[in-house]
């Protein structure tokens, strides 16, 4: 009978050791989160599976509090987050480089600048006493360090939000036939529609994105294996950069053809090849609004996000399971607070300081 099967499953769990019980409950939780995030119609799931999930939920609900309490008092406990030196979140930090090579540390009390005939912060406060040299040949840049973020309004009115460890290079005045910028790292673009006759180009190491007026996110870090473009609204054309060809091989791969994205789509370019998928765009632009959004995010991907925002070196000690993470976490939380939420994925963490550097140790 179904009732006997459910009770038998519960009894089997209760016969396990404390460590085994905790590990099995965490496995159940991860499977539940994974399956609930998949777009699987209820009619395709058998009654037995749903009863198993229901039993698991009841068991977790009944003893979940005990497991957390026991983990803090057992002689055989494993401390899942060891905090030797907590790390505070990043903030408004950026360096502005002018066309003549001068650099300006932008105010941490401000969150953005406006580039026009004058350089000002978003609230109108002047950054320089003199006027900016207005020439398309005069390149300027704004760069955020690890643990930094900043916003810039370009000469055409387009707005760009820079994530940590990113750099945007742009002219103090756009050309008459195009508006072109270069990006290293990650940025969210809200392109002005006031100059629709001038295409807006964003160049990265592996692609060029062409737009008129739209909103999109580009993820193009040098230490990542691919470049991702996520379209929020409007339309963009993604043109992969052709791989260098030898003199003996002048063939042009079809992978270098352009791709048009629609809202809700994401292109991934790697080694000149482009793939397109439907995605939940919120998961890829949450950083702009101050959140980490993990939607089945693999452990190493999540750790790279934390490394950039908290400016920590991530070290893996031992064989780490390929844990997927789910959830929405404020980027205003300290590193220890974020890890206390992620620790339930059968992974242990230790934060320590080595000289002036912060280290995050990830352990099985």
- Output the tens digit of pLDDT for each of the chain's 364 residues: 333 333 333 334 444 444 444 445 545 544 554 444 444 333 333 334 444 444 444 443 433 333 333 333 333 334 457 666 789 999 999 999 998 899 999 999 999 999 988 899 999 999 988 776 666 568 899 999 999 999 999 999 999 999 999 999 999 888 888 999 999 999 999 999 877 788 999 999 999 999 977 999 999 999 999 999 999 999 999 999 864 443 444 333 334 588 999 999 999 999 888 999 999 999 999 999 999 999 889 999 999 999 999 999 999 998 888 888 888 999 999 999 999 888 877 789 999 988 889 999 999 8
Structure tokens at 37: 């995030």
Q: Phi then psi for 239, rounded to 5 degrees?
A: -115, 105
Q: Is 105 helix (H, G, I), strand (E, B) or coil?
A: strand
Helix segments in 147-298, DSSP class H? 282-285
The whole-number pLDDT of residue 134 equals: 66
pLDDT of residue 136: 59
Per-state percent for the chain, helix, strand, coil, to nearest 5: 25, 35, 40
How far apart are the C-alpha atoms of 41 and 334, rounded to whole Å? 38
- Tell me the residue length of the chain: 364
What is residue 209's predicted lDDT score, i.e. its pLDDT?
Answer: 96
Distance CA 199, CA 216 (A): 15
pTM: 0.74
List strand residue ranges (DSSP E) for 72-194, in order: 81-83, 91-92, 95-97, 103-105, 112-115, 119-121, 139-144, 148-153, 159-162, 166-171, 179-190
Look at residue 194 in the predicted model and tell me its pLDDT.
Answer: 79
pLDDT of residue 137: 64
Delineate the domains of the chain, giving CATH numbers in brackets.
2-73 (no CATH), 81-88+289-363 (3.55.50.30), 91-242+254-284 (2.60.120.1440)
- Judged by DSSP in three states, 9 sits in helix
d(CA 50, CA 289): 36
115 CB-contact burial (10 Å; exposed 0-12 / middle 13-18 / buried 19+): buried
pLDDT recorded at residue 57:
41
Buried b / exposed e across 151-168, counting CB within 10 Å, b at 16+? bbbbbbebbbbbbbbbbb
Distance of CA 69 to the CA centre of its chain: 33
């Amino acid at each position: 009978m179904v009732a006997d099967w459910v009770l038998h499953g519960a009894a089997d769990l209760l016969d396990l050791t404390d460590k085994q019980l905790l590990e099995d409950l965490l496995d159940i939780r991860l499977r539940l989160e994974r399956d609930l995030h998949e777009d699987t119609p209820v009619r395709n799931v058998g009654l037995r599976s749903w009863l198993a999930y229901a039993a698991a939920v009841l068991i977790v609900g009944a003893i979940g509090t005990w497991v957390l309490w026991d983990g803090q008092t057992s002689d055989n406990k494993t401390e899942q987050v060891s905090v030797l030196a907590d790390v505070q979140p990043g903030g408004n930090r950026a360096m502005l480089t002018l066309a003549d090579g001068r650099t300006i540390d932008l105010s941490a009390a401000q969150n953005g600048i406006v580039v026009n005939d004058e350089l000002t912060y978003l609230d109108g406060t002047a950054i320089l006493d003199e006027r900016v040299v207005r020439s398309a040949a005069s390149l300027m840049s704004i760069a955020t360090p690890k643990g930094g973020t900043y916003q810039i309004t370009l000469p055409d009115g387009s707005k760009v939000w820079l994530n940590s460890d990113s750099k945007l290079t742009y002219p103090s005045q756009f050309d008459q036939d195009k508006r072109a910028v270069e990006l290293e790292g990650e940025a969210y673009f809200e392109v002005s529609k006031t100059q629709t006759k001038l295409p807006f180009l964003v160049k990265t190491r592996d692609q060029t994105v062409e737009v008129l007026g739209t909103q999109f996110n580009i993820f193009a870090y040098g230490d990542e294996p691919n470049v991702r473009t996520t379209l929020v609204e409007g339309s963009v054309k993604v043109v992969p950069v052709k791989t260098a060809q030898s003199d003996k091989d002048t063939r042009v791969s079809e992978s270098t053809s352009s791709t048009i994205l629609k809202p809700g789509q994401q292109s991934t370019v790697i080694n000149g090849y482009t793939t397109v998928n439907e995605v939940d765009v919120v998961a890829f632009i949450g950083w702009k609004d101050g959140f980490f959004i993990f939607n089945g995010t693999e452990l190493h991907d999540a750790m790279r996000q934390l490394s950039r925002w908290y400016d920590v070196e991530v070290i893996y000690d031992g064989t780490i399971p390929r844990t997927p993470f789910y959830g929405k976490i404020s980027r205003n939380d300290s590193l220890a607070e974020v890890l206390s939420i992620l620790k339930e994925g059968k992974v242990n963490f230790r934060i320590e300081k080595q000289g002036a550097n912060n280290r995050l140790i990830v352990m099985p």
